Amino acid sequence: MKIRLLAVAAIASSAVLAGCSSKSGLEQSVADLSSKVDSLSNQVSALQGDVADVAAASALSYDEAARANERIDNMAQSYSK
């Protein structure tokens, strides 16, 4: 019984492996995935540029806010009761 079961399992597994060996479908899938990866790489590159722009604007805003706070502090010190 075990020998028959092993024989059937071996035949079934070889049939499954033979069915999975079609190269045209595999090549098409690889080509599709490659194009998607290229598209995502381009999007990431564009977003990295945007992040750099936002970081520069944030630093400029921080410096401007610090300068404004310093002016307010100087104005508050000049007034006294």
End-to-end CA distance of the chain: 105
Residue 72 has pLDDT above 90, yes or no: no
pLDDT digits (tens, 9 = 90+) for 11-52: 777 766 666 556 787 788 889 999 999 999 999 999 998 999
Q: In this structure, is residue 3 part of a structural domain?
A: no
Q: Is residue 7 part of a domain?
A: no
Residue 38 lies in a domain: yes
Q: Containing domain of residue 65, as a range?
A: 22-80
pLDDT of residue 4: 75
- pLDDT value at 62 more than 70: yes
Which pair of structure tokens corresponds to residue 26?
């595999």
In a domain, 10, yes or no: no
What pLDDT is recorded for position 15? 64
- Please count the structural domains in the chain: 1
Q: 14 in a domain, yes or no?
A: no
Residue 77, pLDDT above cutoff 90: no
- Rounded CA gap, 58 and 51, in Å? 10
* pLDDT at residue 51 in the model: 92
